[in-house]
Copies of this chain bind each other. A is one copy, B any other.
Amino acid sequence: MIKNVNKLVLAAVAGAILAASVTSSAQQAQKPENLIKWRQSAFQVLVWNTGRIKASVEGQYNKEDVIKAADTIAAIAKSGLGTLFAPGSEQGKGWHETTTKAEAFKDTQHFAELGASFSKEATELAKLAEAGDQAGVKAQFAKLGKTCKACHDDFRAKD
């Protein structure tokens, strides 16, 4: 009898959890091809903006351009990129076939840690850019580049 009540409680709890998760995923549910297209797009915006900062630190420094680029990188880094790597988007085509390794969907903790590291360094870069600290921007930009590389090394199938 107690056993049956426990089963009933368990079933009710499981039902509630399922309902909550369905509501949450329905709100956020996106087609894998959209998720893949958006993450490929976000990374291209990063390519554009890291290129602008590279041009400034290697050539003539343009403070306003560096601020705009660093702010864009920081906002994208903090945008919640991880949600674009939702289960179900392991394979598929956005603008092109995904180049994300299967490991990104398995070792999600390490993936999230590298994302947090990227976000932290991008935020610091935006602060230095705002302050017009050219030497600081140059050093921090190199530091940011290492967080990009760390993630690409572990989770990106090709360069």
Contacts and interface: CB of A to CB of B under 8 A. Distances in A.
Nearest to A70: B75
Interface string A38-72: 10111011011101000100011010010011011
B45 A27 contact: no
A74 interface: yes
Nearest to A79: B72
Interface residues of A, number: 33
Contact of A44 (B38, B47, B59): B38
Copies of the polypeptide in the assembly: 2
Contacts of A4: none
Contacts of A86: none
A11 to B, nearest CB: 25
19 contacts: A27-B59, A27-B60, A37-B44, A38-B44, A38-B48, A40-B41, A41-B41, A41-B42, A41-B48, A42-B45, A45-B45, A48-B84, A65-B80, A71-B75, A71-B79, A72-B76, A72-B78, A74-B75, A75-B76
Interface of A: 23, 27-28, 30, 34, 37-38, 40-42, 44-45, 47-49, 51, 55, 59-60, 62, 65, 68-69, 71-72, 74-76, 78-80, 84, 95
